[in-house]
Amino acid sequence: MSSEARKSPLDQQHNAAEAKFTEFGGWVLPLRFGSELAEHHAVRQAAGLFDLSHMAQLEVAGPGAAQALDYALMGSHSTMPDGRASYSMILAPDGGVIDDLIVYRLAEDRFFIIANAGNRETVVAELTARLEGFDAALADVTEARALIAVQGPRALDIVLAAGLPAAADLGYYRAVESTFKGQPIVLARTGYTGENGFEISIPAAAAADLWSSLLAAGEPLGLVRAGLAARDTLRLEAAMPLYGHELDRDTTPAEGGQGAFMRAKAADYVGRAALQDRKQTKHLVGLVGAGRRAARAGYPVLIDGQVRGRVTSGALSPSLGRPIALAFIDGATPAVGTPVEVDVRGQLAAYEVTGLPFLKRDSR
């Protein structure tokens, strides 16, 4: 692990819990605490506790904040009601994706943004440049705060028991400013697991207290600490994109499976003109395998014996017991049910195109 890798404000807690660590986006983070499969199942059946303090936490404030974000990002931020969250992207002028992010409108003139750790510097630089000329300012508060997620069917019971009563009336993709033991928090009902759950931004110095309070309240309800390994299989089952896999500079939002964001919007935004002219050259599809051999990122996908694309993410789905994968297919989109093969290290494995998400939940 490189010496300059950043550590979470909860690093001591993770060491005490004997976490296995990995480096991700320039941070040292828990990969898993015990069995990552057990952590995955706990999130589906009860709840998991995640430290997401690596993720970039940004504030954009000022009378012109909404208009500035309308220009800087995809999505209509000026028409978002206060307390609403929305999935968004920051595009390059050519329509490629610089990052995907969640935008929370905390007040008329204040937005809170969570971006990917690995893209933090780029997003901060781009946003700062794009805010010029608007009456709005950006603050990068990542290092001053921690981000903790509770995800799973018991998440609401757990955050209530831990002393976060504001969770009681919080709808899906809503956020509210509140306090935990007097400390200012942003409590959001968002997540990256396909389960009901909450993400909580809190000052770094208070993170350990919140972490242990959630554990104490949650462990009797089945809450377990969960690491990045489980987070990845959970998000894959929910077919949520991971930047660097399904999204990157060479991929448009529609190609990355996020076509809903292509809807027309009155305001101009960076990348819009290019998207209108840019032809979609690949499609993101879901694949499910017959055996147990996982197709992994980069493996070629063949249709009728011809290489037609490549896998972007793949794993043996812990919930389904079958290998699942997301893949880019060039040219025409194959229909659901189309048989394909994946070149798994020289051996062809049988897969077929399937609908997304892989795992459908009705817990929202």
Partner 1 sequence: MTIPADLFFTADHEWVSDPGGPTARVGVTEFAAVALGDVVFLSLPAVGDAVAAGAECGEIESTKSVSPLYAPVSGEVTAVNEAVLNAPELVNQDPFGVGWLFEVSPTAQGDLLDAAAYAPLTAQSD
Residue ranges that bind partner 1, judged by CB under 8 A? 20, 31-32, 35-37, 229, 232-233, 292-294, 296, 315-316, 318, 345
Q: What are the helix and strand counts (H, E) for the chain?
A: 8, 20
Longest dimension (CA), the chain: 62
Compute the least distance from the CB of residue 344 to partner 1, in Å.
Answer: 9
Is the CB of 181 or the CB of 292 nearer to partner 1? 292
Which residues, in sequence order, are CB contacts of 66 under 8 Å at separation 6+? 77, 78, 80, 105, 108, 109, 111
3-state helix, strand, coil in the chain (%, to 5): 25, 35, 40
Specify the DSSP element, H or E, that contains 67.
helix 65-72
CB of 72 to partner 1, least distance (A): 35
Quick one: 33 or 112, whose CB is closer to partner 1? Answer: 33
CB of 32 to partner 1, least distance (A): 6
Residue 142 or residue 193: which is nearer to partner 1 going by CB?
Answer: 193
Q: Which residues contact 327 (CB under 8 A, 6 or more apart)?
A: 284, 285, 287, 295, 301, 309, 310, 311, 312, 342
Report in angstroms how near the CB of residue 297 gets to partner 1 at its nearest: 11
In the bound complex, what is the minimum distance in angstroms from residue 224's beta carbon to partner 1? 14
- Distance between CA 237 and CA 254 in Å, rounded? 20
Q: Which is nearer to partner 1, 275 or 294 (CB)?
A: 294
Q: Which residue's CB is nearer to partner 1, number 191 or number 227?
A: 227
* Token pair in block for residue 41: 């199942």
Whole-number minimum distance, CB 237 to partner 1, in Å?
A: 12
Which residue's entry shows tokens 């009797």?
A: 220
Tell me the residue type at 56: A
Query: CB-wise, 39 or 70, nearer to partner 1?
Result: 39
